[in-house]
Amino acid sequence: MMEEIQSKQERSRKFETEVIHSGYDALKHFGSLAPPIFQTSTFVFPDAQSGERRFAGEEEGYIYSRLQNPTVEMLEQRIAALEKAEKGLAFGSGMAAVSAVLMGMVKTGDHILCSEGVYGCTFGLLHFMQERFGVSHSFQSMDGEEQIRAAIRPETALIYVESPINPTMKLVDLKLVAEIAKEFGIPVVVDNTFSSPYLQRPLELGCDVVIHSATKYLCGHGDVIGGLAAGSKELMSHLSMTTQKDIGGVMSPFDAWLLLRGMKTLPVRMDRHCSNAAELAKQLRKHPRISKVLFPGDPEFAQYTLASRQMDGPGGLISFEICGTKEDAQRFMNALELIKIAVSLGDAETLIQHPATMTHAVVPPEDRAAMGISETLLRLSVGLEAWQDIWADIEQALNT
């Protein structure tokens, strides 16, 4: 009875509590407040028979860190708790997570239906899978029910969505997509990197798998490369024993430990990212040298109503267009002093990048144009500095 009460208490805990406590019991690890790092490649069996049983799946226990590691397992349990999933998996990078999920869920002859924009390396992976393995894909605006239904083919085996989409910030109605997909028996995979589970939980909206580049907001400090996926126990176990184990893009124990540490401050960091971004979006919209601002928290954003319904906050990313040419956009970036030119996001430092020549350079120009990525579009990852200082740097660069 006590176990049942405890289980109910754990299920009802707030996000801010789960992100600190879930997946780790200090009393089971000599009372260490900080999770220990099990920095080992392999594990010793008590006897030969035990090794046989573990390899046969008849006995619980660790075998080899590519298969399972206690520190990594703590992180996997934590992301599962935060995303309201049954099981989580950790990978060596965000793209390791994306490739393991996609390759583990489709086969030759299948079709993947994608949101109209995706991260540049995901775009490259999709084309690689089409050329080498015969898995086709298509990009589709998912603004309405008719568009989604019309884009589903008899061979569609997976729907892959980014929301917000990188870097245009366009949203996809995840609940609508999930409801339609279930009618056809098609799983929905969502890259939730831009929002983090603090702001958006796709599984609660009916989607099947959620993916993160843990390098970004989950880490928050720019010192880890990692990826996470979460979903049902059945599907995650299948991926664990196939594309994760056999391709081998696993996370190291030390990186898992750094992520466990970084994630503890996710709620307070995200609150600051969001509030800073909201202030900067207001300033950008008023400046005569900015032609367009794309930010889900802006009341003038085309999908502001959907953002308010689907997300618990607007996030810390703003995309905007500079008046002029690509060279004008680059001159503006070069004039920045506080803001760093770098192709990541979610760090304490404010970062800026030029998608057309950086993160989405692999995407052909005509496809970039269809995605809404112009030559003057810039993506700003708003950091934790005082927003007034960030704006002062933007303003002086715009006036240069």
Give catalytic residue positions.
66, 119, 191, 216
- From CA 360, how far away is CA 80, in angstroms rounded? 30
Contact 1, 245 (CB under 8 A): no
**Could you tell me the two tokens for 75?**
């992180």
3-state secondary structure of 246: helix
Instruction: For residue 32, give both structure tokens.
Output: 């260490």
Give the Cα separation of 206 and 234 in Å (integer): 16
Closest by CA to 212, choosing from 381, 80, 17, is 80
User: What Rg, from alpha-carbon coordinates, does the chain have?
Assistant: 22
> Would you give the distance in Å from CA 81 to the centre of its chain?
16
Nearest CA among 309, 220, 338 for reference residue 268: 220
- Per DSSP (E only), the strands in the chain are 87-91, 111-115, 136-140, 156-162, 188-191, 209-213, 227-231, 290-294, 317-322, 340-341, 351-353, 377-381
Residue listed under structure tokens 């950790």: 90
